[in-house]
Structure 1
Amino acid sequence: MTRRVVITGIGVLAPGGIGTTAFWNLLSSGRTATRGITLFDPAPFRSRVAAEVDFHPERHGLTSLEVRRMDRAAQFGVVATREALADSGLDLAAFDPYRIGIAMGTGVGAISGLDTAYRVASDEGRIAQVDHMYAPGHLYDHFVPSSFATEVAWAVGAEGPSTVVSTGCTSGIDSVAHAVDLIREGSADIMITGATDAPISPLTLACFDAIKATTALNEEPETASRPFDATRKGFVLGEGAAAFVLEELGAARRRGAHVYAEIAGYASRSSAFHMTGLRPDGREMAEAITVALDEARLDPGDLDYVNAHGSGTRQNDLHETAAYKLALGPHAHRTPVSSVKSMIGHSLGSVGSMEIAASVLAMEHHVVPPTANLRTPDPECDLDYVPLVARDHRTDAVLTVSSGFGGFQSAMVLARPDRRTA
């Protein structure tokens, strides 16, 4: 029998507040955490808004040595993990450390640390042949994304399977799916998983400026992220992390754990179409959704809510709308859909895990978070995109999706365990 895997602990570090409670309060109130960039001077750039995390690592238990060693994204991951572990009620010291694994996702790795190191070593770009003696001593760890999993493993004492999944903007779903597989196949009993990214840096901003993917609504930072809205101008860059404790359903029930949700189905597909473009028919996303529903043994009509990728670009919004219609049929028009990126921005690889957290919390509270800033609906995006205000709604099964450059499309179905047959 396939082992059923559930979430028993959640930790979130997001724009608008640290911790799962602050995260849910932001989403359920429909408030936005987007603002003008404060982490550096954004004046030279086309897009000058972002969703930043107000983060002081020492206040969250990180030592000065850890702060010096770890990139900002690694710090996010460790802090989110500690909250998830405390939430789960697990005492990992009672487990065989070789049966505890790590699967962390990231889209751009330690980009903020690399950006800072390069600016120092190159004298703000004035020196072409940099002197490595000026580089920080932990630069190697910033170059190797696997250091994220290492830091989390050290933080919890895990000595089992350990990996970093980096598949662009689908990393936050794909890492959790990999963790599920490791439990199902018997390689681990406990998995710490999720994703972290801190991409708000001059280098990242310059890259997205070049292809005009990020918004130019700099005079209206609080409303600049506008998924499915006819006035949208691109996505708003964000940052943050979400972490989860996963375990087998029977074991969780035996110890009396609070089970948030079962990870019931998952699939990933790629269009192999274009580096940044999407097919307008949404066929590859629709295929991922269909396969994830099949694995979950649920029909489209069983879904109570869809947590959209909803980046706020016209291309993505049309692609997603088409995919939902193709995969869900008539139920696409009956199922509430919303994008939390309207409130927390797009943190690249980590946002998929943050959206899993949002989906689970929607199930926990039976509330569908809104799509903030959706005041002028795009007539081509004609589904129920829950504009502006959260909605009380019985939510027992949720679909969450992610879409990434290169044509990657991932879909995950979360459900209450009693919603499914064994």
Structure 2
Amino acid sequence: MAEREHPRITGVHALSALGRGADALLAGVLAGTPAFAPVRRFDTTGRRVAVAATLPEVGTLADELADAVDAACRAAGLDRAGRAESALFLATHGGPRSLPAPGAASESDGGAEVPALAGHLARRCGLGGRTRVYTTACVSASTAVADAATLIGRGDLDRVVVAAGYLVEPDQYALFDAGRAFAADGAVRPFSAGRQGLLLGDGIAAVVLESAAAARRRGASAVATVAGWGRAGDAYHPCQPDPRGRGLARAVGSALRRAGLPAGAVGYVNANATGTSYSDASEAAALRVALGDLAGRIPVSSTKSVHGHALEASGLLELVVTVLALTHGKLPVNAGWLAPDESCPLDVITHAPRPATSPYALTLNAAFGGANTALLIGAP
């Protein structure tokens, strides 16, 4: 795909335990100070681990998603007519038990049909295009972005608002805790020796993607481009990735081929790395397969070490991080680092941010069931 045809990102917004808005997210990941703290949102009595990265004051999932979509549309300069021509792709774990009538207050979050939530958000935010929903675990949001980029690239759609949300709640928390997936020491240490597991975190994000032609027609400036994207499956194990990383490596290779770029063009990898022993080693192996000898020289970090794992929303939250890193020319820290692990021979960013030296970065995600995604983001 030629550069002029790359889908544009014209607006972004995010919420995490680091705060509200893109500025708070960027400042938090560059500071590298983890946001994990004791959970106050629900009772964790009897749980093995009792910490997560949660924002103290949050509304319902529906309200926070609506605010994020509105903020991203404003950042993109979309007026009412522009919104009416925009599709909505939503990635989330669940929604309110019931949805309010227009103008009424939202009710508490629970497990309603996600399509109902997508329709509610589209009406509430004035988005008149088609809606799609994604509930494919931790690649939900990145898959939505890849689909949006595909449909925009072939001319089926001019503009898509991709939104994603997860607010730490007791059900998923209990499942991960019972499965001993959480880091017992209360710290996420991607690619590091002594890593013990993941920790959950709040994540709400929205981005506006549109064709270059649509952006030009309304005089919109791009904050980034989606230069390439790739998806692949491991079919290896219900919960564990292929130890040789072959599925994720294929996704990375596909993203590079679609962009028409060599591995050497990549200047940063925002890794999926969750801080678990098995999956981090598998991801390091995937990068060695996909990037060859360059894998040990391209800067890598996982910002889950700061804001936590936002499950279905992770891909979009980390996409926003990657866009901001390229825009501001600073690469985020991989927090929690103790010492190198021989199974992860990568150039991990520790101690302080580094300057960006390339206009291209990869952001990677993986999910149970062997699903893998790679998004190649370019500076505008």
TM bucket normalised to smaller: over 0.9
Name the residue aligned to 2:133: 164
**Residue equivalent to 2:378:** 415
Q: Deviations over 1:233-273 (max 9, x none)?
A: 11001121110011111332343322111111111111112
Partner of 2:276: 313
Aligned counterpart, 1:44? 46
Residues 94 and 110 in structure 2, CA contact (< 8 A), matched pair in contact too:
no
Contact 1:175 1:195 (8 Å CA) reproduced = no
* The structure with more helix, counted as a fraction of residues: 1
Query: Which residue of 114, 123, 127 corresponds with 1:145?
Result: 114
| Among candidates 152, 158, 165, match of residue 196 of structure 1 | 165
1:103 corresponds in structure 2 to: 89
- 2:77 aligns with 89
Counterpart secondary structure, 2:334: coil
Counterparts of 1:54 and 1:256, CA distance in 2: 38
- The higher radius of gyration belongs to 1
Q: How does 1:169-180 map to 2 (within 5 A)?
A: 169-180=138-149
Secondary structure of 1:321 counterpart: helix
* Structure 1 counterpart of 2:342, one-letter code: P
Distance 1:6 1:140 in 2: 33
Pair 141,54 (structure 1): closer, same or farther in 2 beyond 3 Å: closer
| Contact in 1 for aligned 2:265/2:358 (Cα 8 Å) | no
Q: Which runs of 5+ in 2 are unaligned?
A: 99-105
Please tell me whether the aligned partners of residues 160 and 209 of structure 2 are also in contact (alpha carbons under 8 angstroms). Answer: yes
Q: 1:156, 1:189 → 2: CA distance?
A: 18
Offset of residue 76 of structure 1 = 2.4
> Could you tell me whether the CA contact under 8 Å between 1:102 and 1:153 is conserved in 2?
yes
Shift in Å, 1:407: 0.6
Aligned-pair identity in percent equals 35
Classify the secondary structure of the residue corresponding to 1:304. strand
Partner residue, 2:342: 379
Please state how far the C-alpha of 1:154 moved relative to its aligned partner. Answer: 1.6
1:300 aligned to which of 257, 263, 268: 263
Compute the displacement of 1:140 (Å): 11
Structure 1: gaps (5+ residues) = 58-71, 118-136, 418-422
Aligned residue in 1 for 2:102: none
Quote how far apart the aligned CAs of 1:169 are. 0.4
Q: 2:14 aligns with which of 12, 15, 19?
A: 12
- Is the 1:16–1:54 contact (alpha carbons within 8 Å) kept by the matching residues of 2? no
Question: SS of the counterpart of 1:306?
Answer: strand
- What residue number does 2:218 align with? 255
1:208 aligns with 2:176: yes
| SS of structure 1 residue aligned to 2:241 | coil
Q: TM-score when scaled to structure 1?
A: 0.83
Structure 1 pair 74–35 and aligned structure 2 pair: CA distance change class (3 A)? same
Q: Which residue of 2 aligns with 1:280?
A: 243
**Paired letter, 1:244:** V
What TM-score does the superposition give when structure 2 sets the normalisation length? 0.92
**Structure 1 residues 140, 266: CA separation in 2 closer, same or farther (over 3 Å shift)?**
same
Q: Secondary structure at the match of 1:320?
A: helix
Matching residue's letter, 1:87: A
Amino acid aligned to 1:234: G
Tell me if the contact between 1:367 and 1:395 (Cα under 8 Å) persists in the aligned partners.
Answer: no
Q: Which residue of 2 aligns with 1:75?
A: 63
Give secondary structure in 1 for the equivalent of 2:40.
coil
Q: 2: CA distance between counterparts of 1:353 and 1:53?
A: 18
Rounded to whole Å, the distance in 2 between the matches of 1:271 and 1:56 is 36
- The answer to whether structure 1 residue 29 and structure 2 residue 31 are counterparts is yes
Q: Distance in 1 between matches of 2:83 and 2:291?
A: 43
Kindly provide the amino acid, as one letter, of the partner of residue 265 in structure 1: G
| 2:123 alignment partner in structure 1 | 154
Structure 1 residue aligned with 2:230, among 235, 249, 267?
267
Aligned with residue 201 of structure 2, among 234, 238, 246: 238
Root mean square deviation of aligned Cα: 2.1
